[in-house]
C-alpha cells in the first residue's frame, strides 16, 4: 500500500486517542483529523464503530482518517457525560439484537421496548433474544415472549450455557451486521462466544456486577463472523434514553399502534387523552396489551 493514497476502511473500535480501522482484516490505528471535531454541536464524537471511512497511511500500521462517509443507519442514545450530546453506539448496522434474561437479571419489558424504539428510529430491524432459557420454565418463557411474537417481532429463546437456540441465532446473524444491547449480565458476550467460540470475549458473573455495579464488557467493538456478517458487542445498559425521537412520531415505532393511529379522530392524536382514539379502543377491546401501552405512555412522558 503506497503512502498517501486514500483507502477505504471500517471503524471497528473507538478509543479516547485513536480509532481502529479495519481494511481487509488488517487493523490500522488512526487519528481523526481535527476538522471533524469543529462542527460537533450535537454529537459526542465524530466517528462511531461501524462507520465507513477513507484514510491515509501515515506510518507502519498507522493512519489518519480523512473522510467519514454518510451513515446508512445508526443506534444512538443521549450520552451521559457530555451534556446530553448524541452518542452513536454503532453505525451502519442492519439489526439491533436485544438480549434479555428471565430472572438473573430480571426481564424488563420497558427497557426492551425502549431499545426497540431507538433501533427502529435509527433504521434498524429488531430481534429479541431471551437468553438463560435453562433458568426458566417453558410456560414462564412463553408468557414473556408472547407479547412480542404477537406484534411480529422475531424472538429467539437461547441458552449460552446449554447451547439451546444457538444455531438459530447464528443463522439470524449471518451476512448481516448486528448490534447487541441489553442489561448487563444478560449474556450478550456469552452468546457471541457461543456463536463463534474463537472470539473468547470476556464474560463475568452476575453477582459481582450487581454488587460493584461493574460491567464486564467495557468497550464497543465490531467483530467479523465466520458465518458472514459482523456483530457489535456493547457494554450492558441500565437505562436507554432516546435520541431525536419526537412525541409525534413515537407511535410509528410501536408496530401494533402505528396502523391504528390513522383511524384516530385527531391526526396528531397522542392516544392518551383525546376522544375517539382508535388506540384506546383497541386497548379496551384487548387487541393491544396493557404492558405495551404502558411502555408507550411511559416513553411519551419522557419526550419533550
Ligand X SMILES: Nc1nc2c(ncn2[C@@H]2O[C@H](COP(=O)(O)OP(=O)(O)OP(=O)(O)O)[C@@H](O)[C@H]2O)c(=O)[nH]1
Give the nearest distance from C-beta 280 to Zn ion in angstroms.
Answer: 6
| Binding status of residue 264 toward Zn ion by CB under 5 A | yes
Task: For residue 95, give the C-alpha cell.
Answer: 439489526
CA distance 22 to 4: 17
Cell 482484516 appears where? 25
- Whose CB is nearest to ligand X? 236
As beta bridge partners, residue 103 has 106
Please, which residue, 8 or 134, has the CB nearer to ligand X? Answer: 134
Give the nearest distance from C-beta 158 to ligand X in angstroms.
Answer: 7
What residues line the site for ligand X (CB under 6 A)? Answer: 131-132, 134-135, 159-161, 184-190, 203-206, 209, 215-217, 235-236
Report whether 96 contacts 126 (CB < 8 A). yes
* Total site size for Zn ion, rule CB under 5 A: 5
CA distance 88 to 194: 27
* Residues 180-209 close enough to bind Mg ion by CB under 5 A: 188-189
Task: For residue 162, give the C-alpha cell.
Answer: 446449554
CA distance 212 to 185: 13
Give the nearest distance from C-beta 156 to ligand X in angstroms.
Answer: 12
Q: What does 52 interact with, of Zn ion, Mg ion, ligand X, none (CB < 5 to 8 A by kind)?
A: none
CA distance 296 to 302: 10
Give the nearest distance from C-beta 187 to Zn ion in angstroms.
Answer: 38
Burial of 198 per CB tally in 10 Å (0-12, 13-18, 19+): exposed
* Residues 269-298 close enough to bind Zn ion by CB under 5 A: 269, 271, 277, 279
Give the nearest distance from C-beta 278 to Zn ion in angstroms.
Answer: 6
Any idea what DSSP says for residue 209? H
Please, which residue, 108 or 215, has the CB nearer to ligand X? Answer: 215
Q: What does 159 interact with, of ligand X, Zn ion, Mg ion, none (CB < 5 to 8 A by kind)?
A: ligand X
Residues of the shown chain interacting with Mg ion in the complex, contacts defined by CB under 5 A? 188-189, 216-217
Amino acid at each position: 500500500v503506497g503512502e498517501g493514497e486514500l483507502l477505504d476502511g471500517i471503524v471497528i473500535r473507538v478509543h479516547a486517542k485513536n480509532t481502529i480501522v479495519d481494511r481487509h482484516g488488517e487493523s490500522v490505528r488512526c487519528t481523526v483529523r481535527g476538522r471533524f471535531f469543529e462542527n460537533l454541536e450535537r454529537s459526542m464524537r465524530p466517528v462511531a464503530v461501524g462507520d465507513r471511512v477513507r484514510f491515509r497511511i501515515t506510518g507502519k500500521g498507522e493512519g489518519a482518517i480523512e473522510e467519514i462517509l454518510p451513515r446508512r443507519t445508526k443506534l444512538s442514545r443521549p450520552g451521559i457525560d457530555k451534556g446530553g450530546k448524541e452518542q452513536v453506539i454503532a453505525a451502519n448496522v442492519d439489526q439491533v439484537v436485544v438480549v434479555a434474561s428471565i430472572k438473573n437479571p430480571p426481564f424488563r419489558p420497558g427497557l426492551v421496548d425502549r431499545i426497540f424504539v431507538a433501533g427502529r428510529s435509527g433504521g434498524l430491524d429488531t430481534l429479541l433474544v431471551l437468553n438463560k432459557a435453562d433458568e426458566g420454565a417453558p410456560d414462564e418463557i412463553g408468557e414473556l415472549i408472547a407479547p412480542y411474537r404477537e406484534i411480529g417481532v422475531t424472538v429467539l429463546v437461547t441458552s449460552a450455557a446449554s447451547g439451546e437456540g444457538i444455531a438459530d441465532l447464528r443463522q439470524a446473524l449471518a451476512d448481516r451486521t448486528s448490534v447487541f444491547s441489553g442489561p448487563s449480565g444478560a449474556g450478550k458476550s456469552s452468546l457471541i462466544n457461543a456463536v463463534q467460540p474463537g472470539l473468547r470475549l470476556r464474560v463475568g458473573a452476575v453477582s459481582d456486577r450487581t454488587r460493584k455495579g461493574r460491567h464486564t464488557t467495557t468497550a464497543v467493538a465490531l467483530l467479523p463472523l465466520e458465518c458472514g456478517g459482523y456483530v457489535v458487542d456493547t457494554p450492558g445498559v441500565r437505562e436507554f434514553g432516546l435520541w431525536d425521537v419526537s412525541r409525534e412520531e413515537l407511535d410509528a415505532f410501536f408496530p401494533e399502534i402505528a396502523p391504528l393511529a390513522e383511524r384516530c379522530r385527531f391526526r396528531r392524536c397522542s392516544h392518551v387523552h383525546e376522544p375517539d382514539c382508535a388506540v384506546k379502543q383497541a386497548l379496551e377491546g384487548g387487541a393491544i396489551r396493557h404492558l405495551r401501552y404502558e411502555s408507550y405512555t411511559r416513553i411519551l412522558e419522557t419526550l419533550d
